[in-house]
């Protein structure tokens, strides 16, 4: 985000601190290799799902009152030809004083629902932090930061928690980073995942409540993003998990698997 000037709008793998074993029989480097492969499977699987994404960004006064707001509800669906597309369902006129720039858009699409696959591993330094329980789920905790920033690309910097059985990310906390263009500031966020289909953990909720420190001002912002109604699109894909929908994003009547217990997101 950046200050709006006029009016209202809106190849190598580097592992640090890996002296300790993450498990009795598996070193941190092996955990990283395995969960990155699982994340690659998940990323490919998610491309075959429809879902609804609801975004709300609010500017708050020091006392917590809302003084500006941006909302957008959109459905990620498939056309009759099987092309994945986004359909805006609701988008009231924004009253934000801040400008949402391309970095915010990239963070919303790629950084907040962070996926760390085998292909992306060489871009990051990864430090093993130890074991930790997240709502009774055993996890491996890792600190993640990009090795270098490339113009035009956004990266995640922060911490991830990896389920110690499924070896997939179940929670993320951090912020999007990249080469800066002017007085840009981006909030810290946390994203929770749920096991939607009995196999992969999908992002379901992101929240942020942070103060952005611009050169000439400070602004508290609060953001929530919900990812709901995941349904598998039945087209040319051979993936056989989850509920099935037609080209309009509606359930086709074929049964799916109910969600598994997941890290509990905060009350909304």
pLDDT digits (tens, 9 = 90+) for 45-76: 999 999 999 999 999 999 999 999 999 999 99
Average pLDDT by stretches of 10, the chain with 268 residues: 40 40 72 97 94 98 95 94 92 94 92 96 97 94 98 97 96 96 93 93 97 94 97 64 52 49 56
Length of the chain as a residue count? 268
- In whole angstroms, give the CA distance from residue 242 to residue 232: 6
Q: What pLDDT does residue 14 have? A: 44
Of residues 191, 145, 148, the one with CA closest to residue 171: 191
How does pLDDT run across 87-117, given as a tens digit for each residue? 999 999 999 999 998 999 999 999 999 999 9
Q: What pLDDT does residue 266 have? A: 57
Q: Which residues contact 120 (CB under 8 A, 6 or more apart)?
A: 36
pTM of structure: 0.79
- In whole angstroms, give the CA distance from residue 266 to residue 261: 15
Name 226's bridge partners. Answer: 54, 205
- In whole angstroms, give the CA distance from residue 103 to residue 176: 8
Largest CA distance in the chain: 59
């Amino acid at each position: 985000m950046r200050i709006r000037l006029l009016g209202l709008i809106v190849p190598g793998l580097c592992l640090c601190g890996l002296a300790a074993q993450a498990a009795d029989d598996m070193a941190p480097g092996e955990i990283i290799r395995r969960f990155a492969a699982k994340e690659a499977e998940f990323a490919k699987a998610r491309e075959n799902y429809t879902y609804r994404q609801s975004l709300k960004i609010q500017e708050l006064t020091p006392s917590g009152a809302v003084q500006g707001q941006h909302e957008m509800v959109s459905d990620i669906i498939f056309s009759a030809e099987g092309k994945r597309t986004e359909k805006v369902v609701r988008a009231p006129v924004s009253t934000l004083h801040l400008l949402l720039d391309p970095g915010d858009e990239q963070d919303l699409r790629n950084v907040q629902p962070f996926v760390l696959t085998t292909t992306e591993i060489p871009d990051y330094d990864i430090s093993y932090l130890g074991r930790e329980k997240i709502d009774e789920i055993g996890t491996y905790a890792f600190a993640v930061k990009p090795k270098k920033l490339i113009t035009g690309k956004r990266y995640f910097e922060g911490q991830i928690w990896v389920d110690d059985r499924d070896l997939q990310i179940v929670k993320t906390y951090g912020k999007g980073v990249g080469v800066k263009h002017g007085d840009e500031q981006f909030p810290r966020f946390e994203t929770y995942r749920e096991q939607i289909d009995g196999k992969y953990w999908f992002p379901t909720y992101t929240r942020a409540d942070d103060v952005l420190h611009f050169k000439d001002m400070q602004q508290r912002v609060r953001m929530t993003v919900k990812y709901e109604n995941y349904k598998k699109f039945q087209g040319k894909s051979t993936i056989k998990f989850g509920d099935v929908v037609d080209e309009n994003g509606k359930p086709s009547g074929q049964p799916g698997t109910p969600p598994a217990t997941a890290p509990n997101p905060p009350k909304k």
